[in-house]
A and B are shown apart, each in its own frame.
Chain A
């Protein structure tokens, strides 16, 4: 009885946590890359937008962003239907600021000569960034980027207090229904998070060996 309940609830929660993580990771990476491009662009207003974004979203506690997304947005008539997308909004806006900073530091490690050479053969700023600078920048920041994604994995647990049935929600539920098996409840939930984090670290290690820059 307990074992089958545990397994079915764990798999339910695991899928929801993976969905949250997947969408937030995707949106945060795209948005973070755009922001990083803004922060190194030659156009001053764009740089200002990038800097302000990072200052606001990196310095706001995640729970406050969740409150804004879950309580504030519906008041404005946005995302009234879905708690899932409100959670994804909060998580991706927050994480994008970190992705942006990691990427920017990666861009700064690419030698200026690379960009100069690209401009010299007639590539535009956008082409230079896309074809020459960013591919090298990404390779330089695989370890810190993995750290950002691991932090995101753990941050998804905040959503359990905001209407999402993720792994952490299932933990509270299991504690309530099976108080006699506390250790199993805690260890099995922990194991699920460790599994996700292990996959991210493993993937990062693999990429680093394949494409990382060795100097």
Chain B
């Protein structure tokens, strides 16, 4: 009896997912081709290194976000996430001789990225993971492989009154709980913070007039503005610098060097730009120059 009702629930959930999937397909059109990733054959690594271990095992576990369109997003009904972070993950795995289908994608949320790395639940984290000094004390972070900046999304009718972060004083500003974006506008510009769990909840409150601005990395906002171009507008220049890095076990310098070499190679042979165009570039942003990598400590 219990099994049967569980089956029914699953079927209902499946129907809901299928409906959602149809919506997403309708919204995006079906023309996104995934860039092909080069998979190294029998790469050679020093014995005992993290690279040799992963390469021999033939699989890698990568922690990613699954709720950020364009960056790391698991569309309803899909079993593989997509986005820029995912493409970067494929490039790293490829350099280790691991094919994209042998990568295990594990969802990490902002709160558990450090513990996951420390306890070895994942091998690396590529999850819109801004490099900060506090984080570098507990985990390794290398990169950046992408530099973005915080911007503001407002309703169309407010685009002349709120033109940048300077006008945010005492303005109700929404962002996601525990994100650096929110503390930036609160500490530097005196905005009144309104935290929600997800960006889409923030969007609802912006559209119903409960908050007057929403802030986070520009790439995410552009995606939302593109969905409702008559109602929403991204205003102002980027006013912070978020440097997305790749997280690894603290102190594994050898592995860090390897990641940097792989990223540098991807910059040089154009696969980085290709990954960008296929994901974040779809919202109409121009492909930037690849950012300069930090040296491994």
A interface residues, Cβ below 8 angstroms from B? 70-71, 74-75, 80-81, 83, 160-165, 169, 172-173, 175-180, 182
Contact = CB atoms under 8 A, between A and B. Distances in A.
A176 B178 contact: yes
A74 B172 CA distance: 15
The secondary-structure label for the interface of chain A is: helix
Nearest to A75: B208
B205 interface: yes
A26 to B, nearest CB: 24
Given A83-B194, A179-B138, A161 B209 contact: no
Q: Which 3 A-B pairs have the closest CB atoms?
A: A172-B178, A161-B197, A176-B178
A180 B111 contact: no
Given A169-B177, A172-B178, A173-B177, A180 B193 contact: no
A173 B178 contact: yes
The secondary-structure label for the interface of chain B is: mixed
B179 to A, nearest CB: 7
Given A169-B178, A173-B177, A173-B178, 11 more contacts: A75-B208, A81-B210, A83-B210, A160-B177, A163-B195, A169-B195, A172-B110, A172-B111, A175-B110, A176-B179, A179-B113
A92 B191 CA distance: 29
B33 interface: no
A175 B183 contact: no
A176 B195 contact: no
B46 to A, nearest CB: 30
B205 to A, nearest CB: 7
Contacts of A180: 134, 137-138
B13 to A, nearest CB: 17
A70 B205 CA distance: 9
A214 B139 CA distance: 60
Contacts of B183: 173, 177
Contacts, number: 67
Of the candidates A74, A162, A169, A179, the one having the most CB atoms from chain B within 10 angstroms of its own CB is A179
Contacts of B197: 161
A70 B138 CA distance: 37
B115 interface: yes
Interface in B194-209: 194-197, 204-205, 208-209
B134 A163 contact: no
A165 B186 CA distance: 12
A179 B195 contact: no
B174 A163 contact: yes
Contact of A179 (B135, B196, B204, B205): B135
Given A162-B196, A179-B134, A74 B178 contact: no
Contacts of A172: 110-111, 177-178, 195
A176 B210 contact: no
A160 B195 contact: yes
Given A163-B194, A176-B180, A80 B111 contact: no
Interface in B100-127: 110-111, 113-115
Contact of B209 (A74, A160, A182): A74
Contacts of A80: 208-210
A176 B174 contact: no
Contacts of A162: 196
A16 B139 CA distance: 33
Nearest to A159: B195
A8 to B, nearest CB: 12
A176 B242 CA distance: 14
A164 B115 CA distance: 26
B198 to A, nearest CB: 9
Nearest to A163: B194
Interface string B197-238: 100000011001111000000000000000000000000000
Given A80-B210, A163-B196, A179 B177 contact: no
B110 A176 contact: yes
Contacts of B110: 172, 175-176
A165 B195 contact: yes
